[in-house]
Chain A
Amino acid sequence: MTFDDNLHPLAEYIEIPSGVTLLSGKNCHEHLNRVSSIDISSKFLKREESILCDLHGRIVGHILHADLEDQILLVHNPENAKEIRNILSTGVPWNEDVKVSTGDGAVHRLIVVGKNPGRVLIGLGIVANDLEQDSWTEFFDSMICLLAQTDEYTAFEMLIPTQLLQSVKEGFETNGGNQGEADSWLALQSLTGNIDISIESSKHIPFELGLANLIDLKKGCYPGQEIHARMESRGIQARIRRCLSSDKQIPQGKARFSEEKRIEILCSHRLGDIWISYCLISTKLDVNGEISIEASDSTITATFV
């Protein structure tokens, strides 16, 4: 599938609603490492993603990290911010210095995506070719990194403090960029097989969402690790994530399709004239092509992408 028709010739900037949590204190890395699904690297300006899970191995939060040496800025879905902060602020030992602060609305996450976003960024004084994947570059009081680079599009990710947000947006507009919709970016992510941190993923097993890359079974124990290790060693996975395309939005949640087969819609986002959805279906079902999903008040025809 080509995204060509839906991509801006230069760049769109898209604000993704986010929850923001700041972990600070000299032991913040050790503390996060004990509850995180990956080995936290403690490398200054490193961009990482990780998962916090409950004891049953189910996701509590999918988190983006910006390592600021003695502070870690955590960006996540705003819906489960309370649960994420509860995990982070619990179990801090008597001899460690760890503080958890909320920063919702203090920092904004912007995606800059298009066929040539470098042309827009250079107008703001940012040289796109200097930006790295997996590492933040400081730009005044903001941070930016390369998020994805394909033949069709390039995407950058920015973390911007509230006081600069408006001027950065104006900078984009002045240099040929337009404001885009979060839906387009999230649909694009679905088509390319990625799960954005803003997608509601809580209560799901990381493997069924295709987030095995955020599970490090060699790092040692973390909440949920025993369950993950058992699933990995037995090769048991009840459901798999698939991508659907449809003319209408498919309501989130559990539904049935063709002959009472079960499906769970994770998210559905508009891309131009179509809707792109992530769903979970049984690994035992071998279905492709077109299906009819029985939504609450109608039947929606969708096609596996």
Chain B
Amino acid sequence: MGLLDGPGFSLPIATAVEVVDVQIEVSDSARKAVLAAIGEQNDTHVLIISAKAGGCSGYLYDMVVVEKPDNDGFQTIDIDGVTVMIHNKDSTLLNGLRLDFRDSLMGGGFHMDNPNADRACGCGQSFG
């Protein structure tokens, strides 16, 4: 597109991020739920917890089970046989996170308690 081909556009903006050594707590119920989600792929797959822009409070939690990424930007935390990975750029936002799992038909599922959050959305998926 010619409109963007001319001079004047900068290189992508690089955002400086502070990196801290992440420590998280995972309750026994959450550990079992993650193990159940990973299933027989526990040797190859990991749980990645991350934060992305959005939600009512500025950031959204995201949790995915994926094949262990070949990326040295992650910190790896072993929780009794479950491998949890957190990217360095999310380290200050997620350090001290407590992950719980509530087995309930109403409001059940994973719950995050984040000491870095000044505010949280009513649904619990967003923090800031």
Interface residues of A (CB under 8 A from B): 22, 24, 31, 34-35, 55, 66, 68, 71, 73, 85, 87, 89-96, 99-107, 138, 140-143, 159-163, 221-226
Contacts and interface: CB of A to CB of B under 8 A. Distances in A.
B6 A106 contact: yes
Contacts of B53: 31, 34-35, 87, 90-92
B67 interface: no
B115 interface: no
B48 interface: yes
B7 A101 contact: no
Q: Is the interface of A mostly helix, strand, loop or mixed?
A: mixed
Contact of A68 (B4, B7, B125): B4
Nearest to B14: A89
Interface residues on B, range: 35 or more
A90 B47 CA distance: 23
A95 B11 CA distance: 20
Contacts, number: 124
B20 interface: no
Interface string B5-30: 11111111101000000000000000
B57 A91 contact: no
A160 B3 CA distance: 7
Nearest to B74: A94
Nearest to B89: A94
Contacts of A96: 52
Contacts of B119: 55
For the complex of A and B, list the 5 residue pairs with the smallest distance between their C-beta atoms, beginning with the closest.
A106-B8, A91-B53, A141-B2, A34-B54, A99-B12
Given A73-B3, A89-B13, 8 more contacts: A35-B53, A68-B4, A85-B13, A93-B52, A102-B10, A106-B9, A221-B54, A222-B56
Nearest to B10: A102
Most buried by B among A89, A94, A159, A163: A94
23 contacts: A22-B4, A34-B55, A34-B60, A55-B56, A55-B128, A71-B1, A87-B53, A89-B15, A91-B52, A94-B71, A102-B9, A102-B10, A102-B13, A107-B8, A140-B2, A141-B1, A161-B2, A161-B5, A221-B54, A221-B125, A222-B54, A222-B56, A223-B57
Contacts of B54: 34-35, 91, 221-223
A160 B62 CA distance: 39
Contacts of A24: 12
A161 B56 contact: no
B73 interface: yes
A90 B60 CA distance: 12
B45 interface: no
A223 B3 contact: no
B121 interface: yes
